[in-house]
Every structure is written in structure tokens, then in C-alpha cells.
Amino acid sequence: MARDKELTGRVAWISGGASGMGLASGIRLAEMGASVAIGSLTQELAAGRINENQRAFTPAHDRLEIARKAIAEHGGKTYAAPLDITDPASVEENHAAITAELGPVDILINAAGNSGRSTIVDHPDSLWNAMLEVNLTGSYRMTRTCLPGMIERGWGRVVMFSSTAGLVGAELHGAYCAAKHGLLGLMKCVALEGAAHGVTCNAICPGWVASEQNVLGVSQEAEMLGLDVSVEEYRAMMAEKWIPQKRFLTPDEPGAYVAFLCSEGARGVTGEALKVTGGSMW
């Protein structure tokens, strides 16, 4: 069908694109005809930058290239480079390189994120700052870089990956919840600023997703609770207790939302926080 390649000629940029929901989003957009650029904080770039209390999946540089090739198999031009969304220079350099290689960015998917757990009473300032810098300020920085061109050209799509943590609170997740709630506020403001210019901005709020980032978070939580169980065992326990569908989502399920939000069929959808959770509240 003609709609299958409706994003032909569009350029998408995805932070956190080497794995999980970012990679799944890249594959979906490539299937729709878009040229896709991905960036992720690689192990080499992350050296000395990850707070000891954080849990962030940082792929090796070759993993970024593997992800690029996986996206390229679905058609369209591709680009991949290490990206640190907490570093303004890294964002600007990547944006300039993508524009030169593929063209102006029409679609921005803010999928990069990290996690960390602590009680409020014992919460280190360093962890708080790191959570907000990656999960909120980084997406603001990426959006601020791409939005002017979208407005000027009269078309754009911005998708924020928030979380159910952006809708409810949870013990041990103070900084993460604060950042993800803030991301929804940012999304609504971008939606209003872009509305008259053909630019939409929405957020996806996934529940529990079976990703490499999730492995780190689940491992940390089991450790904090003093449970001697494997990741798979603890996931099964969590699914049974918290998720009505009794399963973790696959990254492709939120990725399907990305495909819809970037389509012409979603041109009237903006300022919305869309849940995909398997029925869970958290």
C-alpha cells in the first residue's frame, strides 16, 4: 500500500537507538521509508561519566554499528554515531553531521534514558542530578536543537519516551519519577509551540519492557530487596504480581506507537501521553 512508505524523504533521529525501544523505533520508521540516524552513549564515550548509583545500558561502539545495519536491512539511508545527550557539543555535532549526511531532521525520537533507585532520605544529589540530566534535560536539549527546523519547514514529529513513572509515583524512584513527570510537561509545551506549524509532540509511557536497560534495573531492585534470584525469575515474579497480562512487553510494542505517531494519520494527535503497559499501573 502507498501508506507503507509514507515517510519516504523524511529523516528521523533517535537517541538511545542502539538497543531496546530506540532500536525497535528505528526499524519501524525505516520500514515506513524514513532515513534513520541513531545515537547512543557508548562504553567508550561513557567512561568516567556514569554515576555509580545509576543503571544505564551502554553498548560498545560496535554494537551501535550492528544496530545501524539492522535498521538498514529495512530500507532507507542510515547513520550512527556515539551521542551524549548530556553534552551540548555532542548534540550539536551529531545534528550537524546528520544534516550533512541525510538531510534536515524531520522526526525526533527521544528514547535515551537511565534509571537509579534510592530512598528520598538517603538520595545522593549526584544521582538526582544525573537522573534529571539524562531523562529530562537531555530530551529538552535534543528537542531545542531540532524544533526550529521543523517549524520552519512546516512539518515535524517529536516523540518523548516517558514511562508509567511519568504518571504515578513509586517508592525508591523519586528522581526517575520526577524526571519522567517533567518530560510530560515539556512534551505538552512543545506540542503547543508546534501546533500551528505542522509539528506534533507526544509521549509514550511504557510499562515493564524486556530490554537490556530493564535487566540492569531489575537486577538492582532484586539486590536492594535482598532476593537471591535471577533476572528471569524476578521478572516472572513481577509480571505475576503487577501486570494483568502476566508478561513484559517487547520493545517492538512501544515501537508500533512510534510508527503511528509519526504517520500522517496521527497529524491531529499532539500533546498526548499514550500508555502501553499490558494493563499495569506502574
CA 95/CA 212 separation, integer angstroms: 26
Q: Tell me 2's DSSP state.
A: G
The residue from 79, 140, 176, 257 that is catalytic is 176
Cell of 192: 503547543
Radius of gyration of the chain (CA): 18
Q: Give yes or no: 79 in active site.
A: no
Which residues, 6+ apart, have CB-to-CB distance to 62 below 8 Å?
Answer: none
Contact 195, 210 (CB under 8 A): no
State the cell numbers at 193: 509551540
Asked if 17 and 82 count as a contact pair (C-beta separation under 8 A), the reply is no
Query: Cα 61–93–81 angle (5° rounding)?
Result: 20
Distance CA 257, CA 6 (A): 16
Q: What angle, rounded to 10 degrees, do the helices at 231-242 and 212-224 form?
A: 90
C-alpha cell at 205: 509511557
Alpha-carbon span 268 to 254, nearest angstrom: 19
Got the DSSP string for 86-149?
A: T-HHHHHHHHHHHHHHT-S--EEEE----EE-B-STT--HHHHHHHHIIIIIHHHHHHHHHHHH
Catalytic residue positions?
A: 176
